[in-house]
Amino acid sequence: MRINGREYSGMAEPRTLLVNFIRDDLNLTGTHIGCDTGQCGACTIMMNGRTVKSCMVLAVQAQGADILTVEGLAEGDKLHPIQKAFRQNHGLQCGYCTPGLLMSSLFLLQRNPNPTEDEIRRGIEGNLCRCTGYVNVVMSIKAAAKSMQENVGKGA
Amino acid sequence: MIPKKFDYYAPASLNEAIQLLSENGEAKVLAGGQSLLTLMKMRLASPNVLVDISKIPNLSYIREEGDHLAIGALTTHDTIEHSPAIKEKFTILNEAVSKIGDQQIRNQGTIGGSACHADPAADPPTALRVVDAKFVAQGKKGERVVPAQDFFVDIFATAVDHDEVLTEIRLPYLPPKSGSAYVKHSLREHDPAIVNVGTVLTVGDGNVCKDLRIGFGAAGPTPLRATSAEQHLRGKTFDDKTIAEAAEKATEGADPPSDVHSSREYRLEMIKVLTRRSLKIALSRVK
Amino acid sequence: MTANSGDDEIQGRVEDLRLITGRGRYVDDLKLEKQAYLGIVRSPYAHAKIKHIDFSKARKSPDFISSLTGEDLLKEGVLPITQDEWPQQRRAKRYHIAVDKVRFAGEPVAAILSRKKNSLEDLIEEVEVEYEALPVVTSIEESKQGKAILYEEWKDNISLTDEAKKGDAEKAISSAAYVINAREGIARQASAPIEPRAVLVAYDKVKDAYEVWATVQSVHGLQELLASELQAPKEKFHVRAMDVGGGFGSKGSQSYPEPLLACLFARKTLLPVKWTATRTEELLEAASGRDEYCDITLACDEDGKIVALKARVECDAGVSGTHNHMSSLTIWMMPGPYKIPNLDLKVGVYVTNKAPLGPVRGAGGPEACYFIERAVDIMARMMGLDPIEFRRRNIIQPKEFPYDNGIGSVYDGANYPLLLDTLVESPSYKELLQWKSDTHSKFRGGNPVLAGLGIALKLQGTGAMLTETARVVLDAAGRITVYTGSMPHGQGLETTLAQLAAEELGVPRDRVTVVWGDTAMIHDGIGTFASRSAVTGGSSVVDASRKLKSKLLARASKILKVDEKSLAVRDEAIVNVANPNTTLLTLKEAAKKLPSGKISASSKFKLRSMTYSSAAHLCALTLDVETCKVNITKYLVVEDCGRMINKAIVEGQLHGGVVHGIGGALMERLVYDNEGNPLASTFMDYNIPSALETPNIEIFHQETPSTITLNSAKGVGESGTIASYPAVINALNDALAQMGTGIEVSVAPATPDAIFSALTANGVPARPSA
């Protein structure tokens, strides 16, 4: 498989969950586990260009997949506009649900560069947060949308 | 959180998959895994073999055929939600899949998986039952087509045999002057339904009910048709009164549970409310 | 994001960079070589004798390392689970692993250690336990009736009683012009931080010492528990917490079994031992809260002035845990911001066969506010008075502070009339009044939706324990390090405490590093809970910073040979007060000249009392009268938490707190069946709000500076949760009132099913017409 742009190959027991493979075998601990039944979304990653809950995918199902985790968002020291927007708009508190939220936001904005507030809330309904009450998360995503569109306009 | 041990196969062809299923009596088919893996992680289901069919080519498509729309069993809910053809011709299915879980689950979950999982509280089974979908299964004996009324056999059980794979779902086109709607009632938007109702109707001259199908889920072991309500309206003019009367009859045959979320009485009442609402929405969509 | 210290907008909080790049360090992220995995075998029965435990099947597995039972713990001399001394809750002997008897479903009956994470649950399943079921107590009624007595040493099931009295309430009620009685309640609910509890322990045989990493709200608290229960000196336990993914009370409030068991296994096997809770284990075992019910009587005179408040509160504390004090706090805080001359408040806490209760965001405060604010609304409606007007007639006036409530609390300062004025004068409020009226017109035209507006006022004491530790160090590089006993878990203390030190020492915020969560680096501390850290942690940081500044100026005066009083610190330099633009000595230069190359000062500043914050909340919602489903449309908060150290952080705490309360008011319930089986043990059945169920929240600020704290701040962490329960339920009842049925819903959560039951049980037709 390909993770954050790098090729990787390894072994896993069939029952190993992708999230545990990412965290334990690949040592990418930015993706988190918050529940047992696929509700909380803290484990959200991008697999083949679409967000999935990595606790609801077996590692073996990701054979040949192209995976993006939160660690792959920034380019070296250069933060992704979505990361910047969350930081500037106090879109996180304890940070535990944040990586999953960043991935869902990325997917949303890639598909819908100018979402309405309702579309934003719908886009992140699979990411539970107990700290922020979502108010600043929505604001962060709106800001990210704006900044990403400005970059596009500038041909960046 | 971690399932019991199992062997995993990812066959490259349908025949290989069918062979594996017939050789392993306890095997289960894995597609998107959004329903099955939850059960396995909670150890409520522990198949000793998983046959992952997601690598089999040509099982994900939406095709407009002569008298029906064909959907490949591996088509994801997200793909269905964004299909203009389905939105236009089977709004009920578009609405049903749009209410499943959340974006991540819709990205990974498949229509075939949802149908075969046959959870009466899920959204697609009700919609598929109401549109009288036909389910195409492939097995050692070849291909067979099962109509919706025979497909959902019991809670978590369908007519697909152990060594068969569901490959396609066919939705017969609705006649002209038809409309459809799916209404879901749940605590939070993305929770499993407390009750869900789907309606498909066809209007004749003078706003008369030419055909009507009403189905509800989460009120019995399978999606059920509100036949009494359907009979009441057929041949009558659609108006507030007849719709309200049909809604009152909609609960006949319903057997909803009482559980941690809702009482039986509440569910029965909601079937009536949602029947009325979905009929009105479906009517408003008739062109 | 603005910060009161006039800081940069771009950077956000100090903690943000690592968290948004996936470089946070939560306990489960840590890996030690050869670490083994701890698993707990839990009782499926709520009340049963343990007859026999058989590990033979589990032992056959190559991944099995070791096991422990309750008997093993007794042999090791482990003490029972610690119970807080205050406020005199009855002693109940319970062990980290059950001995002889289990008393709640989910209670540990055995522990095992596995080599591999994947096989841990296999091993747990292979441990065979034989039980003999006993009668189960699952309600306060059954507890009172003594269906079973949970603790043999007790004659009954009463864990705690408390009362607060003032004047003669009976007399006042009997002669009052208006009296209302109501039965109110909030069901059992969970903290449910998204990060489950976790612990990692490594044991050093040579030193006979433990390295413990834990996701806790107090490293010193855990250190004390382990030391006392394992009967070893505190210094043997080096406890650390780095990033903690939320706590809300559950991560500091109980003596949980797992950290201690991890220590025992680590010592026994010399392997590092890791334990991470599943969400099911969180919902089964982590401190749950609320489960309080109140029979309330409110009496007032002809003019709508409250003359008496009588309340009988009952609390279902489960088997009783480390802390049972929440409902005591409820009665002490129940008078709220009102002047009530006669009080008769009693609480009884009962044990049942459920998991032990503990503090959950607000810890008795939301219950208190809910009980009084519901009663106030019911009274206002009965009298035909506007709920805001009724409150105006009874709130403590600004000039009346400090105000002694007569049952043990003196409130420092607030301006309740201004809170209400700000609310009603806001454009949003006026729009909402119009919106409510428009919605009602549409309802009369056949649209089955009603709008309701609900108000709640909040008074909250913050600064529990009154003290916290801080040490501030200036080094030769001119950098400042703050060591705090506080334990941030999302509140942004790494940022706000840095701001406070930076302000006092005249340096930019980024020159200050905050260190927390390490019992070796910080000898003594209390932790973060009960909205106390800006108050106690903040005051001690200010105090230590001021002491450091004094020391520094004393040194500088010797170096510069000038009077100390002529010096000040500004812009990283020591300057002359009369001529502040000229640098006499930079901080770096001053630090270099110090004998040890650094200078430090400590503080264990003690507040003379708690400090009281205030707020007014307004909830606007719609009720679909056919489905009984509620949708929150908008929410307003006017908050007074004294001086805001960091406005964005204050608002973030309010957003989260309000949404937590919305969840509690409308959807969250830890349900048990008649056999004591928990029915909501996953996030499928225990529902917390998602982005779709939550409104935008508009916040107005008022700052009545605290006269108690050194930074003039008051706590705000729990504030949003305290007033949101009544704001939401009052709004629901405002909508219901428009149906003209006279039915009030007073038990939270008001799920659609609960509202439906309330209506139909009272003969209201299922689908009432407009």
Q: Which CATH architecture does the domain made up of A81-153 adopt?
A: Orthogonal Bundle (1.10)
Q: Which residues of B touch C (CB under 8 A)?
A: 1-2, 4-5, 42-43, 185, 187-192, 194, 259-263, 265-266, 269-270, 272-273
| Same-domain status, C640 and C682 | yes
Confidence of residue A155 (pLDDT cuts 50, 70, 90): low
Contacts of B6 in chain A (CB under 8 A): 14-15
| Same-domain status, C554 and C488 | yes
Examine residue B89 and state whether it is found in any structural domain, yes or no. yes
pLDDT reported for residue C414 = 97
**Residues recorded for chain C:** 770
Residue C769 has pLDDT above 60, yes or no: no
| Same-domain status, B27 and B98 | no
Q: Which CATH architecture does the domain made up of A2-72 adopt?
A: Roll (3.10)
Examine residue B2 and state whether it is found in any structural domain, yes or no. no
pLDDT reported for residue C9 = 46
| Same-domain status, C454 and C474 | no
pLDDT reported for residue A151 = 82
Contacts of C215 in chain A (CB under 8 A): none
Return the H-helix or E-strand segment holding B126: helix B124-130
Q: What is the per-residue DSSP string for C596-621?
A: TSEEEEEE--B-SS-EEEEEEEEEEE
Mutate to test the interface with A, among B102, B105, B106, B110 (most CBs of A within 10 A): B102
The more confidently predicted of residues C371 and C591 is C371
* DSSP structure class, residue C565: G
**In contact, C673 and C352? CB cutoff 8 Å:** no
Burial class (CB in 10 A: 0-12, 13-18, 19+), B197: buried
Q: Specify the residue for token string 């409250």.
A: C306
- Least Cα separation, residue A129 to chain C (angstroms): 7
pLDDT, one tens digit per residue, over C703-734 is 999 999 999 999 999 999 999 999 999 999 99
Confidence of residue C3 (pLDDT cuts 50, 70, 90): very low
Examine residue C119 and state whether it is found in any structural domain, yes or no. no
Q: Pick from C603, C637, C665: which residue ends a domain? A: C603
pLDDT reported for residue C766 = 52
- Least Cα separation, residue B79 to chain A (angstroms): 11
Query: Among C594, C544, C584, C582, which Cα is nearest to C564's?
Result: C584
Q: Specify the residue for token string 């729309």.
A: B69
Q: With a threshold of 0.90, does the pTM exceed it?
A: yes
Domain that holds residue B137: 62-172
Q: Pick from B113, B141, B172: which residue ends a domain? A: B172
Picking from C23, C278, C694, the nearest residue to A133 by CB comes out as C694
* Cα distance between residue C451 and residue C438, in whole Å: 9
Question: Could you state, in chain order, the average pLDDT of each consecutive group of 10 residues for chain B (287 residues)?
Answer: 97 98 96 96 97 98 97 98 98 97 97 96 96 97 97 96 97 97 92 94 95 95 95 95 96 90 94 96 94
Contact across the interface for C24 and A95, Cβ inside 8 Å: yes
State the CATH number of the domain containing residue C758. 3.30.365.10
Examine residue C83 and state whether it is found in any structural domain, yes or no. no
Chain B CB within 8 Å of residue C554 CB: no
Q: To the nearest whole percent, how much of chain C has pLDDT over 90? A: 90
Chains that touch C (3 or more CB pairs under 8 A): A, B
The more confidently predicted of residues C137 and C769 is C137
Give the nearest chain C residue to A131 (CA atoms): C656
Torsions phi, psi for C427 (to 5 deg)? -55, -35
| Same-domain status, B47 and B74 | no
Picking from B8, B33, B42, the nearest residue to A14 by CB comes out as B8
Q: Write down the mean pLDDT value for chain A.
A: 96
pLDDT, one tens digit per residue, over C607-632 is 999 999 999 999 999 999 999 999 99
Residue C142 tokens read as: 């059954």
How big is chain B by its Cα radius of gyration, in Å?
Answer: 19
- Total domain count for chain B? 3
Q: Write down the mean pLDDT value for chain C.
A: 94
Residue C76 has pLDDT above 80, yes or no: yes
- Total domain count for chain C? 2
Q: To the nearest whole percent, how much of chain C has pLDDT over 70? A: 97
| Same-domain status, B84 and B100 | yes
Q: Specify the residue for token string 């990210």.
A: A144
Query: What are the structural domain ranges in chain A?
Result: 2-72, 81-153
Confidence of residue C324 (pLDDT cuts 50, 70, 90): confident
Mutate to test the interface with B, among A51, A68, A104, A122 (most CBs of B within 10 A): A51
What are the Cα distances from residue C223, in Å, to C199, C230, C231, C267? 13, 11, 12, 16
Contact across the interface for A92 and C684, Cβ inside 8 Å: no
pLDDT reported for residue C712 = 96
Domain that holds residue C704: 415-458+611-770
Examine residue B1 and state whether it is found in any structural domain, yes or no. no
Examine residue C313 and state whether it is found in any structural domain, yes or no. no
pLDDT reported for residue C402 = 96
Examine residue B136 and state whether it is found in any structural domain, yes or no. yes
| Same-domain status, C577 and C682 | no
Q: How far is CA C530 from the centre of its chain?
A: 5
Residues in a beta bridge with C349: C160, C315
Kindly report the three-state secondary structure assignment for every residue of C9-55: CCCCCCCHHHHHCCCCCCHHHCCCCCCEEEEEEECCCCCEEEEEEEC
Contact across the interface for C22 and A28, Cβ inside 8 Å: yes
Examine residue B208 and state whether it is found in any structural domain, yes or no. yes
Contacts of C24 in chain A (CB under 8 A): 30, 95-96
Chain B CB within 8 Å of residue A63 CB: yes
**In contact, B180 and B198? CB cutoff 8 Å:** yes
| Same-domain status, B68 and B153 | yes
| Same-domain status, C767 and C628 | yes
Q: Is the bond into B120 cis (omega within 30 degrees of 0)?
A: no
pLDDT reported for residue C765 = 61
Mutate to test the interface with B, among C117, C753, C764 (most CBs of B within 10 A): C753
**In contact, B71 and B171? CB cutoff 8 Å:** yes
* Cα distance between residue C477 and residue C590, in whole Å: 10
Mutate to test the interface with C, among A90, A127, A139 (most CBs of C within 10 A): A90
Q: Pick from C558, C579, C603: which residue ends a domain? A: C603
| Same-domain status, C475 and C576 | yes
| Same-domain status, B77 and B152 | yes
* Cα distance between residue C269 and residue C597, in whole Å: 44
pLDDT, one tens digit per residue, over C196-255 is 999 999 999 999 999 999 999 999 999 999 999 999 999 999 999 999 999 999 998 789
Examine residue C553 and state whether it is found in any structural domain, yes or no. yes
| Same-domain status, C653 and C713 | yes
Torsions phi, psi for C653 (to 5 deg)? -65, -40
Contact across the interface for C12 and A131, Cβ inside 8 Å: no
Confidence of residue C87 (pLDDT cuts 50, 70, 90): low
pLDDT reported for residue C2 = 33
| Same-domain status, B249 and B153 | no
How big is chain A by its Cα radius of gyration, in Å?
Answer: 15
State the CATH number of the domain containing residue B133. 3.30.465.10
Confidence of residue C591 (pLDDT cuts 50, 70, 90): confident
Contacts of C496 in chain A (CB under 8 A): none
Examine residue C203 and state whether it is found in any structural domain, yes or no. no
| Same-domain status, B66 and B167 | yes
pLDDT reported for residue C1 = 36
Residue C434 has pLDDT above 70, yes or no: yes
Residue C770 has pLDDT above 50, yes or no: no
| Same-domain status, C538 and C636 | no
| Same-domain status, C723 and C738 | yes
| Same-domain status, B40 and B91 | no
Q: Pick from B18, B34, B52: which residue ends a domain? A: B52
Burial class (CB in 10 A: 0-12, 13-18, 19+), C688: buried
Other C-beta atoms closer than 10 Å to the C-beta of B80 total: 24
Residue C276 has pLDDT above 90, yes or no: yes
Contacts of B43 in chain C (CB under 8 A): 121, 125
Give the nearest chain C residue to B2 (CA atoms): C118
| Same-domain status, B139 and B198 | no
| Same-domain status, C595 and C685 | no
